[in-house]
Structure formats: C-alpha cells, structure tokens
Amino acid sequence: MSVYNPSGSGNVHVDRIMGTGGKRVAAKKAPAKKGMGFKAAAASAAKSAGVSSKAGAAMVAAASQKASPTAKKANPNLAKVARKGTTKGAGGKFVKKAAPKKGSK
C-alpha cells in the first residue's frame, strides 16, 4: 500500500494542487532577460549600417522616439531618450534648449 507523498507522487498535477494545501497556484515564470543598453544598440546599428557610431546613435534615438505607447510600456527606457533640440532639466524632465542669441557665432 502506497502513501501519498506531495513531494513526489509522480502526478505533477496533484502535487501542484495538494502540495499547496489544496490551493491552485500558477506555475512560476522565468524572469525576463535584460536587453542591451543604448550604447550597445547604437554600436550594433552603426556596424550593421556601416556608418559612424554617432550616426548609429541617431538611428537608435529616432527609432526609440517613434516607438508605440505599448512598446514604451513594455520598455520604459524608450521614454528616457531625449528628442532633438531638448535637454534634461530638473527632475529628469525634457525641456527645450534655449535658442542661440542672434549675432553670436
């Protein structure tokens, strides 16, 4: 006669339910892998396009600015890329750069 053993009865479904006191629990998901950073993405884009690293950074910045709201929700780092003509101000907010004074070089 066999005795029920929740740690290894051979029936995975029963073990999952009975091993938690009868409560159904979802299987644990694997943690998401970290994606590459801005500099690595810029270097990769520059290498594949055969252009300078500055141009590669511009390509990645343009793509991040065109990202959909769904993409920005999935990857909040896309919202951290400054638009052309802006700079980071106090509190991490983007503000327009001051226009250059006329007559100065």
20-74 pLDDT tens trace? 555 666 778 888 787 788 899 999 999 999 999 999 999 999 999 899 999 999 9
Q: How large is the average pLDDT for residues 89-105? A: 73
Q: Is 87 helix (H, G, I), strand (E, B) or coil?
A: strand
**Two tokens, residue 94:** 């983007």
Is the per-residue pLDDT at 99 higher than 60?
Answer: yes
**Two tokens, residue 85:** 């003509």
* Residue 29 vs residue 3, higher pLDDT: 29
Res 71: pLDDT: 92
Q: How confident is the model at residue 104 (pLDDT cuts 50, 70, 90)?
A: low
Residues found in the chain: 105
What is the amino acid identity at position 56?
G
8-22 pLDDT tens trace? 555 656 555 555 555
User: Both ends of the chain: CA-CA distance in Å?
Assistant: 94
